[in-house]
Amino acid sequence: MPPAPIPANEAERLQELRELDILDTLSEATYDSITFLASQICEVPIALVSIVDEDRQWFKSRIGLEAQETHRDLAFCAHAIIEPDELLIVPDASSDVRFKANPLVTGEPNIRFYAGAPLVTPNGSALGTLCVIDRQPRVLSGEQLASLQALSLQVMALLELRFTVRELREQQAALQEASRLREVLMGTVSHELRTPLTAIIGFIEFLNEDIDAETRSDIVQRLGRQAGDLQHLVDDLLIAARAEADSLNVESVDVALDTQVELALEDVSAAVTKDISVDTLPCRATADPARVRQIIRNLLTNAVRYGGPSISVRTFEHEGTCHLVVLDDGPGIPTGDREHIFERFHQASTATYVASSAGLGLPISRLLAEKMDGALSYRHESGHSVFELTLPMGRALARPA
């Protein structure tokens, strides 16, 4: 018994079938009413809504048959989907070379007559059939065949409706999640902005008082640090907004990674009390220098705020790529949070370690790394939290950054 040929668009057909998410779902009255009508109109004992999967045919609805599925090699419907625009009519399977040796013909349910109307998607893929079966040879009238075809269109309409409803639910869930994230962002950003702004206002008021030169100098330095924090937060927010609008662009120039570390440290080190050990070997990457500094700054700020007392930065070349590693000896990110720290607005579950300011620093840093054809990862090894930025090697452009 030769199996049915595989449709030329089998990969696309199976993809559409997976997107419908119909396989192995429970029976539904709407489908059962159609198979009932088909069996009554065509005056046959068996009617099926049959879905042809990769290796089986599965019945979404069935009248007059106990089996829930059969192997695809035995399926009459596997032959019917080869010609999506035509009904497959088998007046007597026992005399048809394609089916006479089929176990479903030689044994239960002793199929003789078969008529199947393909269930065709708008893209032209036949997912299965609405079929009617009899245990004796027969011929359907033109009206019966037309009714079978019309009912198959109703089955396909139900399948498309199912897909549309599922899409709408997913969109609704996505909108609700986006709304929740915006509320989280607004609340967190309000807090993050308020902290340095309050400090700046207080320092400015203090400057109006009669204070000595040394105190005034100290206040001015603190004002600069708070203003720098604000600038960095705004930078992250701008990146987040551009990413949301799909308008985030990065440059691709030759960048000295060790030089970018030095520049980033000028922004960070003045605001920290911890010693940062620097071990940078020359490595030229293809990247956007401003975005590289933003990533370094976020990683260092993260380590300073939530890491241990020892922080180090290294750059080196390895297997044709440039690497920047920021290590600290703090408690590390809790295991349950490690898969989520690069998700936007996520913060780790413990007070001792949170992802970053406004929950944006690490997600933005990974986004920027990927935009530059690089990667940003986290691991905890030998008592150290390790964030590693990987970038492609430089192309030795004429004007290095």
What are the pLDDT digits (tens) for 40-69? 999 999 999 999 999 999 999 999 999 999
Domain with CATH 1.10.287.130 in the chain: 175-244
The strand order across the sheet containing 375-381 reads 276-280, 311-318, 321-328, 384-392, 375-381
Highest mean pLDDT among 72-86, 178-192, 277-291, 373-387: 72-86
For residue 250, give the amino acid letter: V
305 phi/psi in degrees, rounded to 5: -75, -40
Instruction: Dig out the tokens for 302 from the structure.
Output: 């993260």
- Peptide bond before 282: cis, by omega within 30 degrees of 0? no
Question: Please, are residues 259 and 287 in contact by the beta-carbon 8 Å criterion?
Answer: no
Q: Where are the alpha helices (DSSP H) in 210-288?
A: 213-244, 257-268
| pTM of this structure | 0.51
pLDDT at 98 over 50: yes
Q: Cα 194 to the chain's mean position, in Å?
A: 34
CA distances from 16 to 21, 22, 51, 299, 388 (A): 9, 11, 12, 43, 39
Averaged over 368-392, what is the pLDDT?
A: 91
Q: Please tell us whether the domain made up of 253-392 is placed in CATH 3.30.565.10.
A: yes
CATH topology of domain 10-168: Beta-Lactamase (3.30.450)
Alpha helices in 24-75 (DSSP H): 29-42
Pick the CATH number of 175-244 from 3.40.1190.20, 2.40.10.120, 2.60.40.10, 1.10.287.130: 1.10.287.130
φ/ψ region of 328 (left if φ > 0, alpha if ψ in -120 to 50, else beta) reads beta
d(CA 305, CA 342): 17
pLDDT in tens, 311-334: 899 999 998 999 999 998 888 888
Residue in 127, 153, 133, 144 with CA at minimum distance from that of residue 50: 127
For the ranges 47-51, 182-186, 277-281, the lowest mean pLDDT is seen at 182-186
Strands (E), 22-90: 46-52, 56-63, 69-71, 88-90
Residue range(s) occupied by CATH 3.30.565.10 in the chain: 253-392
Kindly state the average pLDDT of the residues 296-304: 85
The residues of the chain that CATH labels 3.30.450.40 are: 10-168
